[in-house]
Chains A and B, each alone.
Chain A
Amino acid sequence: DAGVIQSPRHEVTEMGQEVTLRCKPISGHDYLFWYRQTMMRGLELLIYFNNNVPIDDSGMPEDRFSAKMPNASFSTLKIQPSEPRDSAVYFCASRPGTSVLLSYNEQFFGPGTRLTVL
């Protein structure tokens, strides 16, 4: 099992450019989460999907951010236009679907994408 895969691992771009972060969840997982981590704000949930459908995007900071999940094995987080304050580590996580036996919420995190906007 390869785990959650994120690409790129590092991204350096200039202010105003479009940035696309990619995530491949663990096969069979029904939920996908996007998080952002900064020193000041810690780890924040941006959006999550269930069966490819966005359920809660209340954490998305503003309209410059958008996320899609066209199929069960792929998701993107796009920032357009990017700004220096978007510099952070972005994590993708996935988890299996809810069932009677799954009372917990074990999310499996990817290695993250470190984004630097100059």
Chain B
Amino acid sequence: DAKTTQPNSMESNEEEPVHLPCNHSTISGTDYIHWYRQLPSQGPEYVIHGLTSNVNNRMASLAIAEDRKSSTLILHRATLRDAAVYYCILRDIRNQKVTFGIGTKLQVIP
């Protein structure tokens, strides 16, 4: 399985943009990049996904490197409610399995 590498933790000031990096150097052509987040004492929730092009939705933006070996989740304006563990995941389109790593714990400072 292709694996991802993320920093264990990051900090951000409230109302500032946050860039959460993810490396996936062994990504294959059939792997989609997904991001989930897990708020304290809750189950994970879907944030965004992409294949090759950058993606935007109401929660965040996903910037994917041209060689697809890395990606960045962008929260445009961090709020205290964005404090969570963020998981970068690769999913082969031919498979339903996803492998969650340890993720990045984001702390938002008021």
Contacts of A66-118 to chain B: CB distance below 8 A: 91, 93, 98, 103-112
Select from chain A the residue with minimum beta-carbon distance to B36.
Answer: A107
Q: Which residue of B lies closest to A40 (CB)?
A: B102
Number of A-B contacts (CB under 8 A): 56
B43 touches A111 (CB 8 A): yes
Indicate which residue in A42, A105, A111 contacts B98 across the interface (CB closer than 8 Å): A105
User: How far, in whole Å, are A105 and B51 apart by their CA atoms in the complex?
Assistant: 12
Q: Is B68 an interface residue (CB 8 A)?
A: no
Q: Is A50 an interface residue (CB 8 A)?
A: yes
With A42-B102, A42-B103 as known contacts, state yes or no: A107 contacts B97, CB within 8 Å: no
| Interface status of A31 (Cβ within 8 A of chain B) | yes
Residues of chain A at interface, number, CB under 8 A: 24
Instruction: Report the bound CA distance from A107 to B42 in whole Å.
Output: 14
B106 CB, min distance to chain A CBs, angstroms: 16
Pick from A4, A45, A112: contact of B99, CB under 8 Å: A45
In the bound complex, CA of A42 to CA of B32 (Å): 21
Q: Which residue of A lies closest to B93 (CB)?
A: A103
- Beta-carbon contact of B103 and A107 below 8 Å: no
The answer to whether A105 and B42 touch across the interface, beta carbons within 8 angstroms, is no
* Residues on A with beta carbons closer than 8 Å to the beta carbon of B96: 31, 48, 50, 55-56, 98, 105
Interface centre among B46, B49, B51 (most CB of A within 10 A): B46
| A60 and B27 alpha carbons, distance in the complex (Å) | 26
Q: Mark B32-46, 1 if CB is under 8 A from A, else 0.
A: 101000100011111
CB within 8 Å of A: which residues of B? 32, 34, 38, 42-46, 49, 51, 87, 91, 93, 96-103
